[in-house]
Structure 1
Amino acid sequence: MKNRVITFAFSAILGLALSAPATAAESVSLDELLQQVKRGRVADAEENRTRLQEFQRNRANQQQALADLKAERAREEQRSATLEARFATNDEEIIELERALQERLGDLKELFGVLQQAAGDARGNFDSSLTQVQYPERSEWLTEFAQKMGSTNRLPTLQEIERLWFELQREMTESSKVSRFTTTVVSAEGEEQQREVVRVGLFNVVSDDKYLEYVQETGRLVELARQPQSRFTNRAEELFEADSGMTAFGVDPTRGQLLGLLVQAPSLIERIKQGQIVGYTIITLGVIGLAIALWRLLILTGVGAKIRSQSRNLEKPGNNPLGRVIKIAHDHPNVDVEGLELKLGEAILKETPKLNAMLPFLKIIAVVAPLLGLLGTVTGMIITFQAITLYGAGDPKLMAGGISTALITTVLGLCVAIPMVFLHTLVASRARRLTQILQEEAAGMLSERAEQQQTAGV
């Protein structure tokens, strides 16, 4: 109480000091402050007296509440002892009942265990089956059925056993059918669409001319990003449009695994890209060589036609290799055989380079292409060995890039070199044949000039 009075007095003094005005008329005297402290002490004493009387009045009530709580605790302790005794009795009764149940079950216990295992296996098979798209509710039922039997040891009812039998029989029946139904299909662009699909047993599902695959995680049919060859997609379209009868169709016996690998298999363009700069160089040389070979074949064909036409009219030399050779003989009618032979040989030598033009370049391409392929092979193997050095040989995918480069460049080099050898041989043989015609006609003209000179000498 003393501390409270001191605190009150200090607070009053502090309040007066903070709120006191500057004029002396409004200040509070010490006597007034003393009276205020005295009045506060009297009020505190009165409050404490009132609280003490209230506590004394409630003391009897608190003692009665304590007695009531002790009585309630005693009753609850008695009830707990009764429940414990009943629990022990029930536990013994349950043990006896379970023992009697196990004795009565006998061989049925093993049967129910096999039934539970069959339900679990069926659920796993159904989840990965194409028929799951048509009958999704069976998976939920099998899950609940297996959980109930496993967690509560509840015996299956006759209706549940017949339902399991029905689901197994329906799966076997549907595996031999070609069914048509409407379901959600995810397109190659990722859009969900309601489409009519045709399921071929447990093997494949098609829609129009597209093969679909079943994604177990999402429970959706997804259109393959890359479809098989046209001969298979055409058969799929025929099957989709057929109403009855027999239709040829390409079936994937692995239930979509081979079709799924088509997404990972690179196309022709992707394989060419694996050859990188060496592969592009080989292809460029092949295109250039093919263009040169076709160009030379066209030119030699035209020249050959002119030469054959000229060989039937030796009196009027034209603007072609044989005509120019004949013109040499006509321009020198008085030259002896030896001199004419030299002049004709010189003319043939002038025409030969024109006929053999670009042949060396074709031969160079035929030789360089496999060498570039070998260069790409070596480069790819270097990349492979670097990957092995850095990451080891545990993951084949790390080495796949270098091996692909090595093999693709070799294939490209051979694919360019082999046709170039044939084209070079074809063009060279055509030019050699024309040169041979020039030599034959020149030999004929020399023989004719020799006969004329012999006749004139006689």
Structure 2
Amino acid sequence: MTFASLSCLSAVSHAQDALTLDDLLNQLEQGQITQTKQNQARESQFKSKVNQQQDMLNDMSYQRDNALVLSVQLEQNFADNEIKLANKAEALDKRLGELKELFGVLQQVSGDTRSKFQTSVISAQIPGRGQFLDEFAQSMGSSSKLASIAEIERLWFELQREMTQSGKVTTFNREVVLANGDRNNAAVTRVGGFNLISNGKYLEYIDETGTVAELIRQPSNRYLASTSDLVNSGGNTTSFALDPTGGSILSLLVQAPDLKERVDQGGPVGYIILAIGLVGLLIALERLISLVFIGSRVERQLKSAVASSDNPLGRVMQVKDNNPNLDTETLELKLSESILREVPKLSKRLTLIKIISVVAPLIGLLGTVTGMINTFQAITLFGTGDPKLMAGGISQALVTTVLGLVVAIPMVFIFAYLNGRSRNIVNILQQESTGIIAERAESAELAQSQTLAGQGA
């Protein structure tokens, strides 16, 4: 609140206390006199500060003039320094001569070597090599500093040490990050500059963190077996599956799916094919055991003249024994009937195996069509930019076809083999039946000739 407002409020307050108009007039006169004095005081104070403000303005103008003069001088000095730097750079280039090309080569070599050390497994055993190369490359990138003899010799030493260590198989102790995330100090074997192994598993070197980690997914057992052979070789020559690319081939082998994952790619159709194949295999196994058992009994019956009811041949022979007085034609019919009764027992469920051998590839074709439908749906939704989006459908299409053929091809051979054994037993029954008929016919003919001879006598 300003002083004038306070004066007005005071006047109003006094006015309220006034009893007559004269008192009110006197009060207003006194308030006006007081306000006039205050205004004069403020005006006097403002006039007294005008000189001070003028002095400040003059001072700022002086500083501005000096700054302008300094700016002109600095611009001139900058231009002169540019000319001097250009002259000195030209003189430096002339003095360097071929050394300039040498330093350029050194800078390039140091950069390439740093990139090599980032992926080299040798850095797991010899850490800290990249720091020197980074500093050396940065210093070489600046024109103000040239490489010293010691730095050049250090670069040569690092290159020579990399080549020397690439031809050695050494074992050292260091911390290893396991697949489950735990850390453990273990003996790590380095095979040149190619691979790191520990406890029969492949490791990888991570330059960003400077750690050695166990591969979350290991290659197949035939590659892991070589790691144990190397560790237990005792310095002798042994075979080892190394990756000459420094990890690229190993990463591809790790990504390759195993047998279970291949089957999983087939989806429900693949499992149906495998279930049908398992049923066919069980049936084939039961038929094989049964036919082998029956065949052995038939072979034993062939060596015996006494008919036994525990095998098809014995039951056929019992027909002859049970009907000694039948004529040849009737006996032949009864033997044929007996053989026909034995054929279904010998060939039962073989037709089911044949059906499985035909149905399995058809179901695989169904899975192929289903997988291609999924592939085209992915193409419709996401386009063809990312092949991984189509990989699932293509995998299902190919795996189901493979599973269908894997089931069908053995089933064809199994059916042919079992059907052949069944037919062999049936052929034996038919041969023996033919022999029985021939024997009965011969006996009847001999009896008839004897009868005619007796009548003639």
TM-score under structure 2 length normalisation: 0.84
Q: Name the SS of the counterpart of 2:164 in structure 1.
A: helix
Please give the alpha-carbon distance, in whole angstroms, between the structure 2 residues aligned to 1:262 and 1:64: 86
Q: Does 1:344 align with 2:335?
A: yes
Q: Name the SS of the counterpart of 1:227 in structure 2.
A: coil
Please give the alpha-carbon distance, in whole angstroms, between the structure 2 residues aligned to 1:380 and 1:8: 96
2:344 equivalent among 343, 348, 353 = 353
Matches within 5 A, 1:59-458: 90-241=81-232, 244-388=235-379, 391-457=382-448, 458=450
Q: Name the SS of the counterpart of 1:301 in structure 2.
A: helix
Please give the alpha-carbon distance, in whole angstroms, between the structure 1 residues aligned to 2:79 and 2:142: 24
For residues 114-143 of structure 1, give each alpha carbon's deviation from its aligned partner in whole angstroms, at most 9, with x where no partner exists. Answer: 222222222222222222323342212222
In structure 2, relative to structure 1, the CA distance for the partners of 1:379 and 1:11 (3 Å cut) is farther
In structure 2, relative to structure 1, the CA distance for the partners of 1:9 and 1:170 (3 Å cut) is same
Q: Name the SS of the counterpart of 1:247 in structure 2.
A: coil
Q: Offset at 1:357? A: 0.5
Tell me what 2:455 maps to.
none
Q: Offset at 1:200? A: 1.0
Give percent identity, aligned residues only.
49
Q: Name the SS of the counterpart of 1:318 in structure 2.
A: coil
- Once structures 1 and 2 are overlaid, which stretch shifts more, 365-374 or 41-50? 41-50
Q: Offset at 1:258? A: 1.2
Q: Offset at 1:306? A: 2.6
> Unaligned 5+ residue runs, structure 2?
451-457
Q: What code does the residue aligned with 1:357 have?
A: K
- Once structures 1 and 2 are overlaid, which stretch shifts more, 425-434 or 136-145? 136-145
In structure 2, relative to structure 1, the CA distance for the partners of 1:8 and 1:237 (3 Å cut) is farther
Q: Offset at 1:68? A: 6.5
**8 Å contact kept, 2:14–2:27:** no
Q: What code does the residue aligned with 1:306 have?
A: R
In structure 2, relative to structure 1, the CA distance for the partners of 1:45 and 1:339 (3 Å cut) is same
In structure 2, relative to structure 1, the CA distance for the partners of 1:296 and 1:89 (3 Å cut) is closer
Tell me what 1:21 maps to.
none
> Unaligned 5+ residue runs, structure 1?
18-26
Q: Offset at 1:355? A: 0.8
In structure 2, relative to structure 1, the CA distance for the partners of 1:79 and 1:284 (3 Å cut) is closer
In structure 2, relative to structure 1, the CA distance for the partners of 1:52 and 1:288 (3 Å cut) is same
What's the Cα RMSD here? 3.4
Q: Offset at 1:73? A: 6.4
Q: Does 1:9 align with 2:8?
A: yes
Q: Name the SS of the counterpart of 1:159 in structure 2.
A: helix
**8 Å contact kept, 2:119–2:246:** no
- The total of aligned residue pairs comes to 446
In structure 2, relative to structure 1, the CA distance for the partners of 1:337 and 1:120 (3 Å cut) is same
Q: Name the SS of the counterpart of 1:143 in structure 2.
A: helix
Please give the alpha-carbon distance, in whole angstroms, between the structure 2 residues aligned to 1:74 and 1:145: 48
TM-score under structure 1 length normalisation: 0.84
- Once structures 1 and 2 are overlaid, which stretch shifts more, 3-12 or 106-115? 3-12
- Once structures 1 and 2 are overlaid, which stretch shifts more, 53-62 or 105-114? 53-62
Q: What code does the residue aligned with 1:445 have?
A: I
For residues 265-314 of structure 1, give each alpha carbon's deviation from its aligned partner in whole angstroms, at most 9, with x where no partner exists. Answer: 12212211222233222212211111111101111222223333333333
Please give the alpha-carbon distance, in whole angstroms, between the structure 2 residues aligned to 1:182 and 1:160: 30
In structure 2, relative to structure 1, the CA distance for the partners of 1:341 and 1:111 (3 Å cut) is same
Please give the alpha-carbon distance, in whole angstroms, between the structure 1 residues aligned to 2:32 and 2:183: 86
**8 Å contact kept, 1:224–1:260:** no
**8 Å contact kept, 2:11–2:31:** no
Q: Offset at 1:378? A: 3.5
